[in-house]
Chains A and B, each alone.
Chain A
Amino acid sequence: DTGVSQDPRHKITKRGQNVTFRCDPISEHNRLYWYRQTLGQGPEFLTYFQNEAQLEKSRLLSDRFSAERPKGSFSTLEIQRTEQGDSAMYLCASSPAPTGTYGYTFGSGTRLTVV
């Protein structure tokens, strides 16, 4: 297992377009998280899955954002009608258990630039 994979690494899109990012977690990990990070800031929580169930969503996740994790394996994060404020690094992480036991394993992120 090579860790958490995210695709693409970079995405440049025009304002108003839709984008979709993919995350492949470590196969044994049943928990998957999406975070967003802007320059000079720490990661901000977006949403969390346990297996295929989306158990928590941040208020940051507006109606234009949707995340799925079909069959509890890979996950996708879609942003519709992108805005310049969506420009950020989108990070995916996975863990095998609640956060109090193990740390997260992060992917390298997808950097989104909306022009």
Chain B
Amino acid sequence: SQQGEEDPQALSIQEGENATMNCSYKTSINNLQWYRQNSGRGLVHLILIRSNEREKHSGRLRVTLDTSKKSSSLLITASRAADTASYFCATDGGGGNKLTFGTGTQLKVEL
């Protein structure tokens, strides 16, 4: 079963613009992670934010976490065509044994 839902399901922007994706989840979490998947390939880990953190940065990525609203957002600044991919949030419920993935946002960055 999917733990979370990403919003929007699909996003199309121009190169250089910022892209924002949102993730909502249902149960309490230990941490939340974001992954990228290029078409037909495996997933690549982008960033992890713990439940006691509110914001985290990594390069052009900025992640926020609001545990009271059970939501997270991923911001990609100054997007590039190479950022075109599907982006998934994944939650660790605290058991430390598995991640539960959301439904994903398809991002298309056009030249």
Q: Spell out A's residues near B (CB within 8 Å).
A: 4, 6, 33, 35, 40-45, 48, 55-56, 89, 91, 93, 98-100, 102-109, 111
Contact = CB atoms under 8 A, between A and B. Distances in A.
A98 B30 CA distance: 11
Contacts of A100: 30-31, 50, 92, 94, 96
A45 B50 CA distance: 21
Interface string B13-53: 00000000000000000110101000011111110101000
A107 B46 CA distance: 15
Given A103-B45, A109-B41, A55 B101 contact: no
Which has the most chain B C-beta neighbours within 10 Å: A4, A35, A42, A93? A42
B42 A45 contact: no
Contacts of A33: 98
Interface of B: 1-2, 30-31, 33, 35, 40-46, 48, 50, 88, 90, 92, 94, 96-104
Contacts of B46: 103
Nearest to B50: A100
23 contacts: A4-B42, A6-B42, A42-B2, A42-B88, A42-B102, A42-B104, A43-B101, A45-B98, A45-B99, A48-B97, A93-B42, A98-B97, A99-B31, A99-B33, A100-B31, A100-B94, A100-B96, A102-B45, A102-B48, A103-B33, A103-B35, A103-B46, A105-B45
